[in-house]
Structure 1
Amino acid sequence: MKTYIPKNDEQNWVVVDAAGVPLGRLATLIASRIRGKHRPDFTPNLIQGDFVVVVNAKQVVLTGGKLDGKVYTRYTGYQGGLKTETARQALAKHPERVIEHAVFGMLPKGRQGRSMHGRLKVYAGETHPHSAQKPQKIEAR
């Protein structure tokens, strides 16, 4: 008896509108689509997911007190170089990074997770340059 191994020849593109959707719900939807967990032949050791295009990233919603309570930190590499910004400041400056940070935290760590990072495209406005791929629109609740 042979073991069935699905082929990774199918690459779908989907568009998700982030306007008015809570960040956590949006990130779980995107991470599961990138991993391929929506497919009936999901295999954890293969990358079978879709390419996900997120539009209207600046209109994503953070519930509760997360807008001022959530803090993003990064280290510059210099002494005393720990920089922090709140979610409100991050959404005003670069809303794409807020969604990317949430999604990348839900992807696997390691070689496979790093290769999945290229499947996420996030844009602050409504337009995106991926119309040639004919992406399907999916609803985020």
Structure 2
Amino acid sequence: MKAVLTRVSSASVTVDGEVVGAIDCPETGGLLALVGVGRDDAPDAWETMVRKIAELRILDGERSVTDVGAPVLLVSQFTLHGRTAKGRRPSWSDAAPGAQAEPVIEQIAAALRERGISVEQGRFGAMMQVASVNDGPFTVLVDA
């Protein structure tokens, strides 16, 4: 499992002209979490990802989402598993198929909510337009 976590002051996901998920957090900051589920991820990789999203101290003042009650915009991103070593076309063979990945993304969202975190989401499998106002900018890559 891979993620790109970006500290944002706002972010949104639009599908077919409709905003399906948005966070606006200029005071505390928040996270835009692009998460890619891998075909061969360990069964508990999602738990590690939840912990990283909730607890990494990457918000202003070295605080975490949990520390300040910041929101998260969670977006499934299979393209994080694209391999580009050969040729000009990325290979997506390391990405989990939708039937495997979608329940994992939902597990992550549910577990974050169980921690009391406000979670907005993109729409799995849809063509999405993701907008963000990056804060810092501050972006980290996470492997779980």
Taking structure 2 as the reference length, the TM-score comes to: 0.43
Q: Which has the higher strand share?
A: 2
Q: Which has the higher helix share?
A: 1
Taking structure 1 as the reference length, the TM-score comes to: 0.44
